[in-house]
Amino acid sequence: MAKRKRTKRKAKRISFKLGTSKRKIKTAHSPSLKGILKVLAVVCIFAAVGIGFAFLSKYVKKTNPVSQSSATLKLVNPPSWVNYQLEEKIYAAARADGEDLKPDEDTALSVQQNIETLVAWLDEVTVQTTHDSILIEGRWRKPLALVRSGLHKFYVDAELIVLDFVPMPNLPIVKVKGLSVITKPQPGEIWRRDDLAAAVAVLIRLDRMDKLVTPDKPLLYEIDRIDVSNFNGRQNSRASHIILYTNDNTEIIWGAEIGAWQRHLEATDKDKLARLYDYYKEYGSLNSVKYINLRDPQNNIPLPIDKY
């Protein structure tokens, strides 16, 4: 019996030792398993972040408009009257291929060619690049007159260059009425016609006088349209060749085209301008009378006929 008990105790001790040995083996392997799990977790996190950035990049490209993807394009010192809509038109023309632009010489040449071909608003265009920008510079064409032909409308500048229509509420652009048969010109074209040139010549002088005499309150803002129906007396040789109308329909009788005053025994062009602006400065508006006669030669401010 004693021998059997000793054998049992010995067996227990052996069994105990074996159990302990197994636990040690398991404990020895467990740190490496944890390490593997940690590495896998880190890899998964980085993969998820990478996928997230890729998705975000695609989303930004899809949702950003042309103007934002063309952030490297910059207009150098545009006039204050150039509005957002006109800027966007020029940027879109510059990116005619629709691809992202790189600030290098090939892109600069491409942008310049695109603008010269597609944009009439800029002349003498130069394009330069910096490390992160494409700089567009040129001489701006300022619209003076608005012409309608059926459903189409377009501008003309001081050199009779046709400009495609872009809303410009911040400029005093005058409508031209009474042109003879109109054929639709193309943007960038010089639209040579005598009646239009006569209207633009008057508007050029009003624009100059505004800058010199009334820069804070330009008179042109009160002019709605200029009528050349009777240009060169083609309808009535005795009637005024050119008449302007204000926003409130006051009639301003100008007379003959610029430079023709002597032939028609009218006041000089210089006197017409001086008398018109003297009246405007004195009364603060042209809209309080029925008409103002600038045509007749006289030394004083024209006496307008009361409107009411």
Whether residue 300 is predicted with pLDDT greater than 60 in this model: the reply is no
Q: Which of 90, 117, 140 is the last residue of a domain?
A: 140
Same domain, 121 and 148: no
Same domain, 101 and 57: no
In this prediction, residues 54-70 reach a mean pLDDT of 43
Same domain, 107 and 122: yes
- Any idea which of 155-159, 216-220, 265-269, 298-302 has the lowest mean pLDDT? 298-302
Q: What is the percent of the chain with per-residue pLDDT over 70, rounded to a whole number?
A: 73
In this prediction, residues 152-156 reach a mean pLDDT of 94
3-class secondary-structure state, position 230: coil
Q: Which of 13, 33, 63 is the last residue of a domain?
A: 63
Q: Which CATH number does the domain housing residue 121 bear?
A: 3.10.20
Q: Which pLDDT band, with edges at 50, 70 and 90, does 107 fall under?
A: confident
Q: Which residue has the higher pLDDT, 16 or 164?
A: 164
Same domain, 79 and 170: no
Q: What is the pLDDT of residue 288?
A: 83
Same domain, 79 and 220: no
Separation of alpha carbons 36 and 287, rounded Å: 88
Between the CA atoms of 47, 49, 50 and 55, what dihedral angle is there, to the nearest 10 degrees? 130
Q: Are 183 and 150 in contact (CB under 8 A)?
A: no
Same domain, 24 and 92: no
How many residues are present in the chain?
Answer: 308
Same domain, 26 and 94: no
3-class secondary-structure state, position 130: coil
- Any idea which of 155-169, 220-234, 285-299 has the lowest mean pLDDT? 285-299
Separation of alpha carbons 94 and 227, rounded Å: 37
Same domain, 215 and 75: no
Q: Which residue has the higher pLDDT, 234 or 98?
A: 234
Q: What is the pLDDT of residue 140?
A: 97
**Tokens representing 136?**
């567009």
Q: What is the pLDDT of residue 122?
A: 97
- pTM, two decimal places: 0.73
Q: What is the pLDDT of residue 173?
A: 98
Same domain, 105 and 163: no
Taking each helix axis from N to C end, the angle separating 84-94 and 105-118, rounded to the nearest 10 degrees, works out to 120
In this prediction, residues 49-77 reach a mean pLDDT of 55
Same domain, 241 and 261: yes
3-class secondary-structure state, position 74: strand
Q: Which pLDDT band, with edges at 50, 70 and 90, does 22 fall under?
A: very low
Domain total in the chain: 3
Separation of alpha carbons 145 and 221, rounded Å: 12
Q: Which CATH number does the domain housing residue 296 bear?
A: 3.40.50
Same domain, 234 and 209: yes
3-class secondary-structure state, position 234: coil
Q: What is the pLDDT of residue 149?
A: 84
Q: Count CA atoms closer than 13 A to 260's CA, side-chain side.
A: 15
In this prediction, residues 117-121 reach a mean pLDDT of 96
**Tokens representing 142?**
């300022």
In this prediction, residues 16-33 reach a mean pLDDT of 46
pLDDT tens profile 171-201? 999 999 999 877 889 999 999 999 999 999 9
Same domain, 129 and 172: no
In this prediction, residues 74-79 reach a mean pLDDT of 95
3-class secondary-structure state, position 233: helix
Q: Which of 140, 168, 185 is the last residue of a domain?
A: 140
Q: Which residue has the higher pLDDT, 302 or 51?
A: 51
How many Cβ atoms from other residues are within 10 Å of residue 44's Cβ? 10
Separation of alpha carbons 94 and 108, rounded Å: 9
Whether residue 145 is predicted with pLDDT greater than 60 in this model: the reply is yes
Domain that holds residue 272: 143-306
